Structure 1
Amino acid sequence: MIDLIQVVAASDPGSAGIAETFGIHTSHIVMQLISFTILAAVLWKFAFKPVFKTMEEREEKIDSGLKYAEEMKIKLAEAEAEKKKILQEASAEAKAIVTEARQTAEARIDKSAQDAIKAAEDITKKAELQIENDRKQMLAEARSEIARLVVSTSAKVLSKELTAEEKARYSESASSTLV
């Protein structure tokens, strides 16, 4: 660019006078261009480059943070799904345990009822047997008492003492009549 200004200034002698009339000095412009270039290079190296580098690092951190947040969102959704699945399994298992407990309780109640019925039947049978035995015993006692009374009455009616053979015959006769 400096060369272009010098070429223009050299080709047109009148134009150099106009530039100087307005206070434009080619040497000042060249010095300002050199100063600006040095300043731009220093700013680029020590200011803009580190700022851009910091901005890129922050952008990478933000991107990694967003990726991490997205991963965590996915993991949270998976954990929620797993939790829901575990709760459903636990609920199903609890229902199965309750059902099994009910069935066991019903089976025990049925068994207890059957045992109670069987015990009642056994008690009833024992009572019937006892009643039958008592009845037979009472009949046997009644027969022997009646036979004794018949023999005693017959002895009094006949006014004599009966022999053992006659007592046995009367007892047998009285017993056979009662049956």
Structure 2
Amino acid sequence: MLTLLLATVETTAHSAEAAGPIEGLRQTFVHFGVEPKYLVMQVISFLILFGVLYKFGIKPTIATMEERNNKIAAGLKHAEETQARLAAAQQESAALIRAAQVEANKAIEEARKAAKEFGDKQQADAIARAADLLAKAQQSIELEHKKMLDQARTEIARLVVKTTEQVLAKKLSDADRAAYNEAATKELSVL
């Protein structure tokens, strides 16, 4: 088939050289069964079909594709902006969390310090109250001791006076007895 085509082109080329380029082209078309009037009609039909397809098919498709590309680009831009805002929000929240953590640690430390101070104050107050109670108890004991000693002295003096009276009543006169009683009372009250 290729050889037939080459042979035809060669003969057409030889005859076209003799008659001119347009005549040679016409003979080539005729040899292949192509008639110029039909070729022109087919070219016009093709151009009309191309124009209609371009206007109603290709052009809207290209416009739709451009619109879709614009939407995709806008979506990508929006996604990048959203991602940037998200990163900024994450950094801000991390900073807020760190600040809250520092503040919480500070509050905990202050609470510990206040609790320690309160405990120390309560302990100091308890020690002071205990010391005060101990001092009052000591004073009370001393007062009771003095009171008991005074009562014991009084009782001893009374017993000594009574015993002395009984012993001396038999052997001393009333004036001597009174003098001894006074002397014994003075001596016992000094003790």
Cα 1:26–1:172, aligned 2, differ >3 Å: closer, same or farther? same
Is structure 2 residue 123 aligned with structure 1 residue 113?
A: yes
Q: CA deviation at 1:170?
A: 2.8
Distance in 2 between residues matched to 1:107 and 1:115, nearest whole Å = 12
Q: Which amino acid aligns with 1:175?
A: S
User: Residue 84 of structure 1 aligns with which residue?
Assistant: 94
SS at structure 1 position matched to 2:34: coil
User: Residue 14 of structure 2 aligns with which residue?
Assistant: none
Q: CA deviation at 1:17?
A: 4.4
Cα 1:12–1:68, aligned 2, differ >3 Å: closer, same or farther? closer
1:131-176: CA deviation from partner (whole Å, max 9, x where unpaired): 1101111111122112212211221221158579543443113322
SS at structure 2 position matched to 1:159: helix
TM-score by length of 1: 0.83
Cα 1:150–1:41, aligned 2, differ >3 Å: closer, same or farther? same
Matches within 5 A, 1:7-156: 14-15=23-24, 16-156=26-166
Q: Which amino acid aligns with 2:129?
A: A
User: Residue 9 of structure 2 aligns with which residue?
Assistant: none
Structure 1's unaligned 5+ residue stretches are 1-9
TM-score by length of 2: 0.78
1:54-102: CA deviation from partner (whole Å, max 9, x where unpaired): 0000000110111111111111111211221122122112211211111
Distance in 2 between residues matched to 1:104 and 1:13, nearest whole Å = 113
User: Residue 171 of structure 1 aligns with which residue?
Assistant: 185
Q: Which moved more, 1:81-90 or 1:34-43?
A: 81-90
Distance in 2 between residues matched to 1:88 and 1:71, nearest whole Å = 25
CA contact (8 A) 1:19 1:25 kept: yes
Q: Which amino acid aligns with 1:154?
A: T
Q: CA deviation at 1:104?
A: 1.2
Let me know the Cα RMSD of the aligned residues: 2.3
Percent same amino acid among aligned pairs?
Answer: 41
User: Would you say how many aligned residue pairs link Structure 1 and Structure 2?
Assistant: 168
